[in-house]
Amino acid sequence: MSDVNTAMVQKYRNDFLKEVEENVEEGHWVKMCMQCGVCSGSCPFGPDWAHPPQEIFMMIRAGKRDEVLTTESMWMCTSCYNCIVRCPRELPITHIMHGLANYAHRLGIAPKMNPTRRFSIIFWNNITKTGRVNELALSLKLYFMDGFMSGIKNAMAMASVGIGMLKTKRLNPFALINHKGVKNPKQLHVLLKKAREIEDRRKGIAS
């Protein structure tokens, strides 16, 4: 745990807003929101969010650090970009949502069982392993992420699709072991590690 994680945040002061500005991708845009609510109204998942974007921006200004960083709301974003297109103040809302989710995840306080978060972790691990996505491995991992039985169930449900893909040569079962990655994945890992170090240092997150 980092020290920012336990920092005291005063309500309706600028402390948390400043933290967001410094640590969240595109976070410096949050103060520019004029609370018109067009983003919330435009979001296809709007009604399913506990806190739509407009509210999240207000919560940041109100200093509700815990509520913002532990909410599932921004994990609901599907990157349709409707809010960005419509925002009269031209806030990159989609990016801010991802930035917030990422920051919460990096602090280790993002909701553990959030499906989007879990998928993201599986995807990240998959792609960084060889530098290219192993689609078959990714699918299997996803099917079985809630245990063996549900994995079998998921696989059965998708069986006809899988067979169809097999028949039309869109799926190669040997890719599971014979996946082609980038030429030198070791070097990629070094590169990613360095990037993470720089980011952590900048954001004050202890790795």
Partner 1 sequence: MSETKTAAYICKGCGIGDRLDTEQLAKIAESEGKCSLVRRHDFLCNADGVNTIRNDVDSEGVTHVVIAACSRRAKTDAFGFDDVALGRANLREGVIWVRPDTEEARETTQEMADDYLRMACAEIQYMKQPEANQNAGANKHILVVGGGVSGMTAAIEASKAGYGVLLVEKTGQLGGWAVKLHKRVPDREPFADPQDTGASDLIKSVDHDKNITVFLHSSITRTSGAPGQFSIDISAESGETVTENVGSIIQASGFSNYDANQLPELGYGKSPDVVDQAGLEQLAKQAADGPIKRPSDGKEVESVVFVQCAGQRSDKAGHLPYCSGHCCNTSIKQAMYFKDSNPNVDTMVMYDDLRTPGNGEDFYRSAQRKGVIFTKGKTQQVSPINGQLEVKFHDMILGEEAVATADLVVLATGQVANSGVDIEQTTTLDVEDEGAESELPAEDNTSAVEVPVESILNLTYRQGVDLPHLRHGFSDSHFICFPYETRRSGIYTCGPVRRPMDIAQTMEDATGAALKAIQAVENAVLGRAAHPRSGDLSFPTFRREGCTQCKRCTVECPFGAIDEDEQRYPVFHESRCRRCGTCMGACPVRVISFENYSVDTVGQQVKTVDMPDEFDEKPRILVLACENDAYPALDMAAQQGLEYSPFVRIVPVRCLGSVNTIWITDALNSGYDGVMLMGCKKGDDYQCHFVKGSELAHYRMSKIDDTLQQLQLEPERVETHEVEITDIQRVPRLINEYAAKIEEIGMNPFKGF
Cα angle 84, 105, 124 (rounded to 5 degrees) comes to: 85
Q: Compare residues 52 and 99 and give the one whose CB is closer to partner 1.
A: 52
Query: What is the nearest approach in angstroms of partner 1 to the Cβ of residue 37?
Result: 8
Q: At closest approach, how far in Å is the CB of 157 from partner 1? A: 41
Minimum distance from residue 203 beta carbon to partner 1 (Å): 20
Q: CA 107, 111, 117: angle at the middle one, nearest 5? A: 85
Residue 20 beta carbon to partner 1: minimum distance, rounded to whole angstroms:
12
Nearest distance in Å: CB 132, partner 1: 42
Pick between residue 64 and residue 117 the one whose CB is nearest to partner 1.
Answer: 64
CB atoms within 10 A of CB 191: 10
Q: Which lies closer to partner 1 via its Cβ, residue 56 or residue 205?
A: 56
What are the DSSP calls for 81-141, one per residue? -HHHHH-TT---HHHHHHHHHHHHHHHT-S-TT-HHHHHHHHHHHHHHHHSS--HHHHHHH
Q: Which two tokens stand for residue 75?
A: 């994990």
In the numeric block, the tokens 């360095």 are attached to 194
Q: Which of 138, 27, 152, 43 is nearest to 87 (CA)?
A: 43
Residues forming contacts to partner 1 in the complex (CB under 8 A) are: 10-14, 17, 31-32, 34-35, 54-55, 58-59, 61-62, 89
Nearer Cβ to partner 1, position 20 or 205?
A: 20
Q: Which is nearer to partner 1, 61 or 98 (CB)?
A: 61
